[in-house]
Amino acid sequence: MAQPRSLQKLTDLTRDECLQIVSKAVHMKRNPADYADAMKGKTMLMLFEKPSLRTRVSFEAGMNQMGGYAIFYSIADSPLGKMKENIHDTAKCTSRYVEVIAARVYNRQDIRDLAKHSTVPVINLLDDYAHPCQILADWLTIYERMPERLSSGQLKLSFFGDGRNNVTYDLMRAAALFGMRMDIACPADEAFYPEQEVLDEVAELSKKTGAVVRVVNDVLEAARDSDVIYTDTWMSYGIKPDQEAERKRVLSPFQVDSRVMQTAKADALFMHCLPTTRGNEQTAEVVDGPQSVVFDQAENRLHVQKVIVLFLLGKI
């Protein structure tokens, strides 16, 4: 039996497939009734080790809107979480009950093992290495405002903050895949710097697409000529509270404020995958300002994820 198609990281898709998913999401967003029975009688199992708001609600709502059903399963209070059940057996068993498995976990190896042993598609809802659903929602958000720039790769995206981050990694992959320019403004400290494995992957892909993805230390250099300014929380799920003061000290020079936004293009978008803390990774005037599209990003998780499910099942 052939291994089913899964989505573990953004580059499991081609550039054309990303655009296909985004384009279909535009149509689905405008015409949700056309897909009201697309998942009729179908079930998705969602394994959650990390807390969630947008991911859980958007997937449950999306499956419901397509006539299907999503099961929320908390790893923390399950046999899997207590190490009485392993990933291998979990994947083998649950594949026989449902049509799709999705997981939000701490460790990338768990996603890889699920995909290896599952007989149905596996969707990475987030791990320590990738966040493909978020980035496809981001691409939909950009496409709605800058379709020509995104499709042609004539766009610069700049990320500010923690470079050793799942969102940062998949943004880097997406930029490389689309032949774009991207600057990552982050501390030089290894704890905040992208992993070499990701840098190597992105560099190899950039050779084929002409992308220019750089890590820089100067926030204004990164912001200059940018179409999209992007940041993420300084206190991701799993980071211990006693690390907050030190992380704020190290990351504060990379805060997105009005000066950063004014250095970018006049029509630049401000993006954040949420949750956010005003006064930390960005100022309130930025996240609540006219260039912010953070709640459009959040909404677009719903639309693009419905397409991801159908795409992996071969329904589009």
Positions marked catalytic: 104, 131, 134, 232, 273, 301
Give the whole-angstrom CA distance, residue 316 versus residue 309: 10
Q: Which of 131, 155, 170, 136 is nearest to 26 (CA)?
A: 136
Q: What is the DSSP letter of 77?
A: G
Residues 287, 283: Cα–Cα separation, whole Å: 7
Q: Provide the β-strand partners of residue 231.
A: 160, 272
CB 258 within 8 A of CB 280: no
- Cα 164 vs. chain centroid, distance in angstroms? 14
Return the structure tokens found at 202: 């992105």
Q: In what order do the strands lie in the sheet with 269-272?
A: 212-216, 181-185, 156-160, 228-231, 269-272
- The structure tokens listed for 198 are 């990701």
Continuous segment of H or E residues that includes residue 48: strand 43-48
Tokens of 111: 């996603």
Q: How far apart are the first and last CA of the chain?
A: 22
Q: Angle at CA 215, nearest 5°, toward 181 and 54?
A: 75
